[in-house]
Amino acid sequence: MNTSVPENAAVHLRGLRRTFGTRHVLDGLDLDLARGEFLALLGASGTGKTTLLRILGALDHHDAGTVLVPEVRTIVFQEPRLVPSKRVLANVTVGLPRGAASRETGLRALTEVGLEQHADAWPATLSGGEAQRVALARALVREPELLLLDEPFAALDALTRLRMQDLVGELCRAHRPAVLLVTHDVEEAVRLADRVAVLRDGKLVTDERIPFDHPRDPADPAFAELRRRLLADLGVHTPIPTGVN
């Protein structure tokens, strides 16, 4: 995999193909993602969203095409994947050089996610939301140029999910990595991203920039209209509310 990227680009894909058996899960996919840009990727189960994320994260290979990505990239999965035998701070700094500097860097990352008081806790004592915040701190502590999020809120309850969405949005705007979020949740995509894309039949059938600023209100008519269009692209047709043209 070539890890040099065009100027101002964090991800550059051309003609990307990944085949399983006789099925092209990704079939000639083209995508550019700028540094500091947040892209949410939607699609039905089995359309290749996680396959694309795994290729970008060097966890899977591609069969054809060009894949250019930055060297420093990290992934947050649906499960926190913390090491149970390491305390919280050690989980955050895993892979960093040992020493006081790494400890201070890890503590700053925990402070950003509101868990500095849990530095010496064991993962088993954390709630689901706390564990996912540790996973986010671990991903951001390396200051990645590309942050890959694979449905990181799917296992959380509704209230914790909203709080985590807000936290991820704040941290991504502060650190400015390029972000690819894989999600099934259209409202989550519109709430967080700069762009939203829909993957179907191995290609992007929609790639749309979101034209309104943060924070975003799901009750806003523009938000609701974009959500309706994206659902239609996903094959879910909802009635247009009375009075909306």
Mean pLDDT of the chain: 92
At 107-146, the pLDDT tens digits run 999 999 999 999 999 999 999 999 999 999 999 999 999 9
pLDDT at residue 240 in the model: 60
Sheet of 178-182: strand order equals 73-76, 146-150, 178-182, 38-42, 195-200, 203-209
Considering only 54-58, 79-83, 95-99, 192-196, which range has the smallest mean pLDDT? 95-99
Cα gap 229→63, rounded to integer Å: 32
Domain ranges of the chain: 9-233
Percent of the chain residues topping a pLDDT of 90: 82
Q: Is the pLDDT of residue 245 over 60?
A: no
Cα gap 160→39, rounded to integer Å: 22
Which residue has 């879910």 as its token pair? 236
Cα gap 128→186, rounded to integer Å: 22
CATH 3.40.190.10 describes domain 9-233: no
Q: Please state the pTM of the whole predicted model.
A: 0.92
Among the listed residues 143, 168, 130, 179, the one whose alpha carbon sits nearest the alpha carbon of residue 10: 179
At 1-44, the pLDDT tens digits run 444 556 788 999 999 999 998 899 999 999 999 999 999 999 98
Q: Is the pLDDT of residue 241 over 80?
A: no
Sign of CA dihedral 236, 44, 150, 36: negative
Sheet of 9-20: strand order equals 23-34, 9-20, 64-68
At 86-100, the pLDDT tens digits run 999 999 999 888 888
Among the listed residues 168, 179, 182, the one whose alpha carbon sits nearest the alpha carbon of residue 214: 168
